[in-house]
Chain A
Amino acid sequence: MKQSEILQPEAHQGKGKCGINRREFLLYSGTAVAATTVMLNIPGTAQAQEARLAQYPKKLIGKLSQLKQDEPVYFNYPDDGLNAGAMLIRLGEKAGGGLSKKQDIVAFSSYCTHQGGALAGTYNKQYKTMGQCPLHLTTYDLTRYGIVVSGQAYQSLPQVVLELDGDDIYAVGVMGLLFGRNDNLIG
């Protein structure tokens, strides 16, 4: 039986916080794990990534109390430029990188990372997926950091890093490159 020696998400629970902060998101997310496995011997990598996230704007995108399960809230992030459309959603079940006590609030880019197809309107509430993308039929699993369920995308659906402050939900970063950009912060 395999088991992860890398992280136990449960260990980060029960700290009395109502959500996770950027640092914890990193710990939950693939990137932090990459930092401890693939790039084990490169000092400062996690810090470098944290520093990178610090360059992103902090944007209020919704209220916890107003989010209804399976009803997407669309917003732009990190700017109002091309392919900045994103979607905030309360899945109703625990998700990788999820916010709230139930860890079920996540946000993702709404552009396919294959060739930029628009995914808005393809949220499937039974399975908590996005897609099929109208262009080449990729589907993504929103409970698992936007991983490709089936399809042709070159990477997971970029996940928007969230922070919860009281009732306010903020977007504070993006994990993964948005389609069409060479740098998420150049819109």
Chain B
Amino acid sequence: MEKTKFYDAVDKAPLPPKGADVLTTACDYCIVACGYKVYRWPVGTEGGPKASQNAFGVDFPTSALGAWVAPTQHNVVTHNGRKHNVVVVPDKDTEVVNLTGDSSIRGGTIAQKCYNPDKLTKDRLQRPLVRIHGSLVPVSWDFALDIAAEVANHVIDKHGVNAYSVKTFSYHFIENTYAITKYARRHVKTAAFTFHDTPSDVTSTPGFRDAGYDNFGAAYSDWGDADALMICGTDPYETKTVLFTQWIKPAIESGQKVVILNPRETAGVAFAKKYGAVHLDLYPGTDNVVVNAIARIIIENGWQDQDWIDKWVASKWETDSGFGQGTRNTPWQWRTTWGKFQTKGYEDWKKWLFAQDEYKLENASKISGVDPAKIVKAAEYMGKPIDGERPKTSIGIEKGFYWSNNTGNTEAIGALAAVVGAGGRPGQMIARFGGHQRGGQGGGKYPRNLSPEKVPGRRRRALDTDRWLVSGHTRMAHVIGTTWIQAMCGTTGLQAKFEELVTNNQHQVRSKDKQEIIATLKKRADSGGMVVINQDIYLIDPIGAKFADIVFPASGWGENDFMRANGERRLRLYQKFYDAPGESKPDWWIIAQLAKKMGFDGFDWENSNDVAEEAARFSRGSRKDFNMIKVDAHAKGITLHERMRQMGTTGIQGPVLRIEGELVGTVRLHDTTLELPETGAEKGNVFNKKLTHFNSQSGKVNMMKSPWGLFSDFWEWMKPQEDELWVTNGRINEKWQSGYDDTERRPYIKQRWPENFCEIHPDDAKKYGIKNGDEIMVYSKRVPIYKDTILGVKGDDYQFSSLMKNGHIDLIEASVKGIAMVTPAIKKGVLFMDFLDKRQPSNAIQARVVDWISGNYNYKMGVGKIKRIGGSIYQKEQHAMSFKPRNITGA
């Protein structure tokens, strides 16, 4: 039986003494990537409260915002084989990102992440494991790698490259993602490759790509410099905390007008509302109609930014000019084949917009459940001139928005941005706020032509690795730093398939002999079963604990020197400051050994810097182009990592240029106010179009249609019937991006969030007899599962209603448990659960049907019923959880 863990409320914490080593890093968690300092000193000594006695050089106690060490900011690690104290605190001296040395609850306590055999991180994976007789047995690296390499080569030779599927994190440092993509996409060349948050390797924001916006064009200052800020599908306070507390909150306090599109009211939303923010509390999946209704009202009133539109929106001829992505095989191009998206410029788009009934205010209000007066007010905030001056308007989006109606929503917001002149000027930008940090660096191109999935009309689409697996085509699954199963939708069916292909296959290893193990695993693959490699820092259930045949122990943050960028493309070095546990190794090293054993060339790196220097060349022209940092480093006779180390927590914003021997960062992309040197791109610099223009052939913004009809059949089908409610999900501040550390290994967070929860509106709760703290079950017999890998022939073959009609959708049952939280902070008719609780994954309820244009899941779309199971201990005991609403603002 599971015990509730409790927080040890200690009342002192060690101060680093004078002379402690000081290293810089950045937080490992959310996109914001606050700068941190690590103070390290041998155990046995401690600093004192006088300024002369501690490494901060200040007298304790300190006042608000001063240096401080909370007990959770201290840990004991091994450094060079010797025990050391570490204190990891936000950098109080920083002039970027986390001004004033701010931090979130996640980053603030990141010291707890370090491996410590006396703490809850003691279960870090330390040795390679191979499953023998059903148990994972420690083996040597060579033993595990030999098996993996030989079985992998066999699977590839006998069943084709796509039988070897790689599912990997996209963000966990440039060195690792470079090595993994080089291996999987350039050398193995498998089309069965994708990242942790999508079943296929596709763009997250198709509308941004079509319009020409980079996902991360904005600088953090732009969010604060806007007069009006539209926030779509997130509360930045919860999920990009310091972006809110340091950049947006002060702006709100100085009069910034905020528009928030989100069915839920959390702390940041409540705070903004105190200052007059408009909260558009919509039903899941209806963003598209609200956004287009706002655009319509703005244009009806003549509030559009006509000067911007005239200068920066592509005309008919500019729109037709091929987009520089080739005239045929572009993601944008095939869509135009069917006339669904492309327009002949602004006037044509406007004509289309006004011809759509659903975007009329009254209809949009009816579909979305948002008060029409609030939609009008949002339009006023974003467009209406004040004393003849247009407001500077910016738009930030995140997953609540682009994982609801992926293509429709992102196309719609792209057009609205052009209407209000957002994109391309300080304080007037459109971008993602961001989720994970930006640590992806492609080391090889996705082999699209090897994908058997083909979009009607023209091109092949990146393979949906979930459907591919469910169809039985995956014979070896290589899973790196993700749960795969719980992170996808309709997870129950996915887990059952893993069981069938792996655990229930007759070929199970029952010998300690390497060759016999290899022979057995080959037989499993040949018999239609599947072999699983899992590479991670902990043994994850079920992918590692139940399914993995081979487990590679990875090392991570603080255990190697790594590079990564944040949501304003700021590159920093995340320094190694302690010894990785046991024999764990960085992912790039693991991949390199495997690749070499499989016979691939080009993996002879000796250290992390070697990988980064090789990757630099491949970053050229990208949003985090860091090649010139390497050039600068070599000119100074040092390595790329050394040069990065010199830049500390400040780092530098990509793309990085080198002008007259000095490194120059790029504050924002598509910066129409930026002046580049007249001499042009000299000495290795790349002046990509995106520096001063948009990512389109003409460099201007493409006005795209966003038809509701591409999505409405799915939405109508999903819409709650009878006793059903919408079931949506999202993140929770206290453990967002850090769940793998927090949920299981931080007593305090475990105490705050011991189980998954379910927010329910008081009216709904009353109807179903549910009280705060009740254990509830959310269940559904209507979880649609898109099961087949099909070739699209006709234009609407991938449309939901066609898939349903043609028998490609199964309906399965699923249920998840949680603790009820009755709160008016969630819209009536909508349930909200934590997105990534591995034990009770709310994704089990969500539709496993990809957005048919883009190939992404619309994770926020689910429907189900709720019932009370009974009371819970949290109603009687007062140690864990809290049932207070998250939108309390004060007395």
Q: Which of B70, B100, B268, B876 sits near A177, CB closer than 8 Å?
A: B70
Determine if B105 and A37 form an interchain contact, defined as CB atoms under 8 angstroms apart. Answer: no
> Chain A residues near B70 (CB, 8 Å)?
113, 154-155, 177
**Inter-chain contact B888/A131, CB cutoff 8 Å:** yes
Interface 0/1 of A1-15, CB less than 8 Å to B? 111111001100000
Task: Enumerate chain B residues within 8 angstroms of A10, measured Cβ to Cβ.
Answer: 876
Indicate with 1 or 0, residue by residue over B61-77, a CB within 8 angstroms of chain A CB atoms: 11111101111110000
B386 at interface (Cβ–Cβ under 8 A)?
no
Bound Cα distance from A129 to B883, whole angstroms: 11
Q: State which size class the interface on B falls in.
A: 35 or more
Q: Does B635 belong to the interface (CB within 8 Å)?
A: no
Complex Cα distance, B876 from A82, in Å, reads 36
Q: Mark B732-757, 1 if CB is under 8 A from A, else 0.
A: 01100000000000011001100100
Which residue of A2, A150, A179 contacts B267 across the interface (Cβ within 8 Å)?
A: A150
Query: How many A-B pairs fall under 8 Å by CB?
Result: 220
- A88 within 8 Å of B by Cβ? no
Which residue of chain A has its CB nearest to the CB of B66? A180
Rounded to whole Å, the gap between the CB of A38 and the closest CB of chain B is 7
**Contact residues of A between 163 and 187, Cβ < 8 Å to B:** 174-184, 186-187
User: Is the CB–CB distance between B61 and A2 below 8 Å?
Assistant: no
One of B7-15, B138-146, B653-661 at the interface: B7-15
Determine whether the beta carbon of B882 is less than 8 Å from that of A5. no
Q: Which residues of B contact A117 (CB under 8 A)?
A: 64
Q: How far is the CA of A178 from the CA of B120 in the complex (A)?
A: 24
Q: Does B889 contact A (CB under 8 A)?
A: yes
A residues within 8 A CB of B271? Answer: 132, 137
User: Are B11 and A3 in touch, CB under 8 angstroms?
Assistant: no
Scan residues 31-45 of chain A and give those whose CB is less than 8 A from a CB of chain B.
31, 33-34, 37-39
Shortest C-beta distance, B459 to chain A (Å), equals 46
**B775 to chain A: which residues have CB within 8 Å?**
1
A170 to B885, CA, bound (A): 32
Asked if residues B1 and A2 are in contact (CB atoms below 8 Å), the reply is yes
Contacts of B755 in A (CB 8 A): 2
Min distance, Cβ B35 to any Cβ of chain A, angstroms = 16
Chain A residue total in the interface (Cβ 8 A): 73
A154 to nearest B CB, angstroms? 4
Q: Mark A80-123, 1 if CB is under 8 A from B, else 0.
A: 01110000000000111000000000000001011111100111
Per the 8 Å Cβ criterion, residues 10-26 of B in contact with A are 10-15
Consensus secondary structure, chain B interface: loop
The 8 Å CB contact of B63, one of A38, A113, A177, A180, is A180
> How distant is the Cα of A37 from the Cα of B69 in the complex, in angstroms?
25
A95 to B889, CA, bound (A): 21
* Inter-chain contact A116/B884, CB cutoff 8 Å: no
Nearest residue, chain B, Cβ from A175? B9
A137-B267, A149-B888 in contact; A155/B877 too (CB < 8 A)? no
Does A137 contact B12, Cβ atoms closer than 8 Å?
no
Q: Are A151 and B267 in contact (CB under 8 A)?
A: yes
Given A131-B888, A152-B104: A145 touches B4 (CB 8 Å cut-off): no
Which of B4, B241, B879, B880 lies at the interface centre, i.e. has the most chain A CB atoms within 10 A of its CB?
B879
Return chain B residues, CB-CB under 8 Å to A127: 884-885, 888
Taking CB atoms, residues of chain A closer than 8 Å to B878 are: 9, 94-96, 143-145
- In the bound complex, residues from chain A placing their C-beta under 8 Å from that of B10 are 176-177
Contact between chains at B751 and A30 (CB < 8 Å): yes
**Bound-complex Cα distance A151 to B109 (A):** 13
Q: How far apart are the CA atoms of A152 and B102 in the complex, in Å?
A: 10
The answer to whether A154 and B105 have CB atoms under 8 Å apart is yes
> What B residues does A181 contact at CB under 8 A?
12, 60-61
Interface pair A156/B7, CB less than 8 Å apart: yes
Shortest beta-carbon distance, A130 to chain B, in Å?
9
Contacts known (A30-B6, A145-B878); A151 close to B891, Cβ less than 8 A? no
Could you say which residues of chain A place their CB within 8 Å of the CB of B3?
4-6, 37
1/0 contact trace for A121-160 toward B, CB 8 Å?
A: 1111101110110011101010111011111111110110
Min CB distance A80 to B, Å, is: 12
B126 at the interface (CB under 8 A from A): no
In the complex, are the beta carbons of B68 and A180 less than 8 A apart? Answer: yes
Q: What is the distance, in angstroms, from B641's C-beta to the closest C-beta of chain A? A: 30
A145 to B734, CA, bound (A): 17
Inter-subunit contact A116/B891 (CB<8 Å): no
Pull 11 A–B residue pairs with CB atoms less than 8 Å apart, ordered by A.
A9-B878, A37-B3, A37-B6, A113-B70, A136-B102, A147-B752, A149-B886, A150-B267, A150-B888, A177-B10, A182-B60
Question: 6 shortest A-B CB distances, which residue pairs?
Answer: A116-B64, A96-B878, A154-B70, A33-B6, A34-B8, A82-B61
